[in-house]
Each structure stands twice: as structure tokens, then as C-alpha cells.
Amino acid sequence: MTPKDTTPLVELRQVGKVYSLGERSITALQAVSLRIFSGEFVAIWGPSGSGKSTLCNLIGMLDVPSSGTVQILGQDVTMLSDGKRSDIRNKTIGFVFQSFNLIPVLSALENVMLPLQIAKIPTMQAKQLAKERLAEVGLAEHESQRPAKLSGGQQQRVAIARALVANPSLVIADEPTANLDSENAIKVIETMRELSQRNGTTFIFSTHDHRLLERVERQLQMCDGQIIEDRIAEPTESCRRVQVAL
Ligand SMILES: Nc1ncnc2c1ncn2[C@@H]1O[C@H](COP(=O)(O)OP(=O)(O)OP(=O)(O)O)[C@@H](O)[C@H]1O
């Protein structure tokens, strides 16, 4: 069975988003239609203001479209109440942010445990799961350190472990490498890619950085609120070399 025979994890149909700013209205997205299947590793790229964050927010159910529909695993989530949307979001989606958003007074391990503790998972079990996730992002030896003692790239990998700890089907990362130097940016993308391949988690991330695109199979290029190209590419040789080295 090919992915195209299965229900898409995410499906947008003719989605538009208009923001009102006093008298003015700004069209951030227009007539975007898109299907993303389980296990895909997808980059959304394009210039500032092209609609990347708006698209990530709509896929992540953090906002609602002005027109069109958003479906998650075949369910139209557009008209659901806030409570129902939060329920689906908490069960299905993990988020990674540009500025890491770690809690400074907690250790790396405690930061990763947090979503499980909020979900009332017993502490011993939460600790075990968080340790496994930290090990997966290569930070087993840093679990007791607070964020300030870690590099930006390490902090973002803690944030990735935290996004994954409750086992979401989808992780959305809006500009996850914007605050990183290129070496750390590459490491963060490779970590996400490896986790996607190993665990079948779907990752969608946005970026301005054209150089990261050679590491991504599917690229959605945005311009003026539209997807102007949806390209599926083979990873390049340099990308494979980095993967081996990591
Ligand atoms: N909350 C908002 N209120 C009003 N306008 C907004 C809002 N959020 C985004 N916009 C506008 O919508 C358009 C798309 O913005 P968006 O942030 O989605 O683009 P982006 O590609 O993510 O940009 P960047 O790379 O700079 O983050 C822009 O013109 C922006 O100014």
C-alpha cells in the first residue's frame, strides 16, 4: 500500500487566513490545499511574511482558518470547540519553538518530563520515558544540567525530546534553527530527520535557511500566502555523509 492509499495525517482544503488590523486586513494564506502523510519529513520555506508561521499554526490547531478546512487523520477540526481541539492537539501534536522555551530552573530531564507530569503520568514512568528521549537526541549525559549550561543546539535537542515524549504522531517546529549557528542548525535538522526515520514520527518545520533544504525530502515553497512549489527530492550525498558522521 502506498502512502497515497492511506488517510493523510494532515489535509488542508482551500485554506485561507485573513488577519484584521483595525481597518486593514492582511491575507496571510490563500487557497492552500495540502496533504501530509504519516512519517513524512517536510520543510516549509520561503521569505519573511510568506505565511510559514500561519500555516504551521493552522496545521497545529493553534489557530483557525478564515476559509477552507483542516483535517487531522480524516477529522475536520475546523469547527470543533476549543476544548475538543486542545484534546486532539495534546494527543497528536508536539511543538518545537524558535526560542527553545525551556524552563530555566528545571534540569534537561525535568523539562522533558514536564508534559508527562501535566498528563499525570506517574513520576517513575515519566522519568524513564524522558531519559529514553534524551538519549535519543544524544543528551543522556546532560540530563541533570539546566538549560543555561547547554549550547543553543543542545537546548533545542532537549526541546525536541520534550516535544516527542508523549509520543505524538506529528511534530511541528516553526523556525527551529533560527537562533542557531549553521553547525548546530544542521545537527538539529539531522536529529529530527533521524527520529522521523526511526520512529515514523511526522515532522513539519519551517525555515528561511535554504542550505538546510538539501537534508529534506519534501519541500513546500511559500510565497505571498501560497504554496508555489511542492517538491519531493532525494537526499544528497553530502547529507548522507553528515548522517553517518553524527
Ligand atoms: N497575528 C497577526 N496579525 C496580523 N497580521 C499577521 C499576524 N500574523 C501574521 N501576520 C501577517 O501575515 C503575513 C504572513 O505572516 P507569517 O508570520 O505567517 O509569515 P512567515 O513566512 O512565517 O514570516 P517570518 O519568516 O518573518 O516569520 C505577514 O504579512 C504578517 O505580517
Is residue 241 one of the residues assigned to a domain?
yes
In this prediction, residue 241 has a pLDDT band, given cuts at 50, 70 and 90, of: very low
How far, in Å, are 148, 150, 188 from residue 154 at the CA level? 10, 6, 8
Is residue 67 one of the residues assigned to a domain?
yes
pLDDT tens digits, one per residue of 142-187 = 999 999 999 999 999 999 999 999 999 999 999 999 999 989 899 9
Is residue 60 one of the residues assigned to a domain?
yes
Between the CA of 120 and the centroid of ligand 1 the distance, in Å, is 36
Question: Counting atoms of ligand 1 from 1, which one is nearest the CA of 51?
Answer: 18
Q: Is the pTM of this model over 0.95?
A: no
Is residue 150 one of the residues assigned to a domain?
no
Is residue 35 one of the residues assigned to a domain?
yes
Is residue 18 one of the residues assigned to a domain?
yes
**Distance (Å, rounded) from C-alpha 2 to C-alpha 77?**
25
For a mutational test of ligand 1's pocket, the pick from 25, 53, 204, 227, i.e. the residue with the most ligand atoms closer than 8 A to its C-beta, is 53
Is residue 127 one of the residues assigned to a domain?
no
**Contact, 33 vs 225, CB < 8 A?**
no
Q: Is pLDDT above 80 for 3?
A: no
Cβ of 72 below 6 Å from ligand 1: no
Per DSSP bridges, beta strands 41-45 and 202-207 are parallel
Residues in the chain: 246
- The domain that holds 195 is classified in CATH as 3.40.50.300
Q: Look at 57 and 242; give whichever has higher pLDDT.
A: 57
Domain total for the chain?
A: 1
Q: In what order do the strands lie in the sheet with 226-232?
A: 93-96, 170-174, 202-207, 41-45, 218-223, 226-232
Is residue 152 one of the residues assigned to a domain?
no
Cβ of 223 below 6 Å from ligand 1: no
- Nearest Cα residue to atom 25 of ligand 1: 48
What ipTM does the predicted assembly reach? Answer: 0.97
Q: Amino acid letter at 179?
A: N
- Nearest Cα residue to atom 31 of ligand 1: 49
**Residue 78's domain spans which residues?**
3-97+171-245
